[in-house]
Amino acid sequence: GANESNGDSIPASIPSVEHSDLDWAFERSVDDADEIEVGDVVTFEKTLSEDDVRAFAEVSGDTNRLHLDEEFAADTRFGERIVHGTLVSGLISAALARLPGLTVYLSQDLEFSGPVGIGDRVSARVEVVEALGNAQYRLETTIRNETEDATVIDGEAVVLIDELPE
Amino acid sequence: GANESNGDSIPASIPSVEHSDLDWAFERSVDDADEIEVGDVVTFEKTLSEDDVRAFAEVSGDTNRLHLDEEFAADTRFGERIVHGTLVSGLISAALARLPGLTVYLSQDLEFSGPVGIGDRVSARVEVVEALGNAQYRLETTIRNETEDATVIDGEAVVLIDELPE
């Protein structure tokens, strides 16, 4: 249902593209791993909630008070709590995972250029910019804060696309 | 308590260094933001559990079956489920957050060189390699899979260290 908010509620065997009932949006320009080429794009979008930030603090161990403590954050340069940069960057991984085939992460460069507030809507866009051979691809990876209409992460990824298991 | 496993159980106002009752380990070579210099090191270590992986899949939107579906993963090059690379990289952010002062992430480069299995113990090590001026520092960032005795992420971060709010 649209209000699933417990990690346990994600059935292990459901492929990502069937998660259309969550508050997530997803598009891709190519559906066959053999046809991936320069210019192909995948986008993935979700809201980053209070619960998401608290869960990420625990699973990663990043309990920086800038993310968790409103009173503390009010006196920082941001003036309010912000979402962990690494959690925001997770939407790049979510977009890469939606390339056709089995995506394996080889590298990622990130530049954090702006904050994401608690509850902001965020979109990731990954675009194939180079076919490196041996089923490896270089992609431009961008995250926009749709709520604030601003780019918040720029970067580049290299992935390996394996065939899906039978 | 040592068995806290719900994000809601982390009080918002507790600084990270007080989380000594969790299954986390942390050390740092410097305790004052004004004294950070080249060679200073912070380490942070935790186990990455099944619950962590499922929670990260939901908060990031990365439902790649390689992380969630044992049967699927068995037929991949890894032969078993692995932890999301971005979740593993979150331990770098957890280590950076434990520098004295308020750490603000400016950039991060990551190379993924090996897998982390579900339940593996993982350690992050960040070392200041350059003082860039204006309270900015460049750090080498490494993640080791302690269970497998292997380096799994190499990279570099740039952070800004603000003074803590009064």
**Nearest CB neighbour to B12, from listed A5, A68, A86:** A68
Task: Report the range of poorest mean pLDDT among A9-13, A104-108, B80-84.
Answer: A9-13
Q: What is the mean pLDDT of residues A9-33?
A: 67
Residue of A nearest to B64 (CA): A97
| Domain membership flag for residue A12 | no
Whether residue A121 has pLDDT greater than 80: yes
The confidence score (pLDDT) of residue B22 equals: 73
Q: Greater confidence, B110 or A13?
A: B110
Q: What does residue A91 show for φ and ψ, rounded to 5 degrees?
A: -70, -25
Number of domains in chain B: 1
| Domain membership flag for residue B108 | yes
Residue A134's domain spans which residues?
Answer: 22-49+85-162
Q: Contacts of residue B119 in chain A, CB cutoff 8 Å?
A: none
Q: What is the mean pLDDT of residues B34-56?
A: 96
- Our CA-based measurement puts residue A71 at a distance from the nearest CA of chain B, in whole angstroms, of 8
Q: What is the mean pLDDT of residues A48-56?
A: 95
Q: Do B104 and A77 touch (CB under 8 A)?
A: yes
Q: What value of ipTM does the predicted structure carry?
A: 0.89
Q: Greater confidence, B47 or A7?
A: B47
Q: Do B12 and A70 touch (CB under 8 A)?
A: yes
- Our CA-based measurement puts residue A146 at a distance from the nearest CA of chain B, in whole angstroms, of 16
Alpha helices in A62-104 (DSSP H): 65-68, 70-74, 85-96
Whether residue A14 has pLDDT greater than 50: no
In degrees, rounded to 5, the angle at the alpha carbon of residue A103 between the alpha carbons of residues A99 and A105 is 125
**Nearest CB neighbour to B94, from listed A5, A60, A70:** A60
Q: Do A5 and B58 touch (CB under 8 A)?
A: yes
Whether residue A104 has pLDDT greater than 90: yes
| Domain membership flag for residue B64 | no
When pLDDT is cut at 50, 70 and 90, the band that residue A21 belongs to is low
In degrees, rounded to 5, the angle at the alpha carbon of residue B61 between the alpha carbons of residues B157 and A118 is 70
When pLDDT is cut at 50, 70 and 90, the band that residue A134 belongs to is very high
Q: What is the mean pLDDT of residues B85-104?
A: 97
| Domain membership flag for residue A74 | no
Whether residue A22 has pLDDT greater than 90: no
Percent of chain A scored above 90 by pLDDT? 85
| Domain membership flag for residue B29 | yes
Q: Contacts of residue A109 in chain B, CB cutoff 8 Å?
A: 107-110
Whether residue A86 has pLDDT greater than 80: yes
Question: DSSP of chain B, one letter per residue?
Answer: -TT---GGGS-TT--GGG-TTSS-EEEES---GGG--TT-EEEEEEE--HHHHHHHHHHH----HHHH-HHHHHTSTTSS-B--HHHHHHHHHHHHHTSSSEEEEEEEEEEE-S--BTT-EEEEEEEEEEEEETTEEEEEEEEEETTTTEEEEEEEEEEEEEPPP-
| Domain membership flag for residue A140 | yes
How does B50-77 read in b/e, with b if 16+ C-beta sit within 10 Å?
ebbbbbbbbbbbbbbbbbbbeebbeebe
Q: Do A12 and B70 touch (CB under 8 A)?
A: yes
Whether residue A16 has pLDDT greater than 80: no
- Our CA-based measurement puts residue B13 at a distance from the nearest CA of chain A, in whole angstroms, of 5
Task: Report the range of poorest mean pLDDT among A28-42, B4-18, B106-120.
Answer: B4-18
Best mutation target, B16, B28, B64, to test chain A (most A CBs within 10 A) = B64
When pLDDT is cut at 50, 70 and 90, the band that residue B37 belongs to is very high
| Domain membership flag for residue B4 | no
Encoded tokens for B39: 């060679």
CATH code for the domain in which residue A107 is found? 3.10.129.10
- Our CA-based measurement puts residue A150 at a distance from the nearest CA of chain B, in whole angstroms, of 16
The confidence score (pLDDT) of residue A35 equals: 96
| Domain membership flag for residue A76 | no
Whether residue B45 has pLDDT greater than 50: yes
User: What is the C-alpha to C-alpha distance for residues A116 and B27, in angstroms, rounded to an integer?
Assistant: 29
Residue of A nearest to B63 (CA): A16
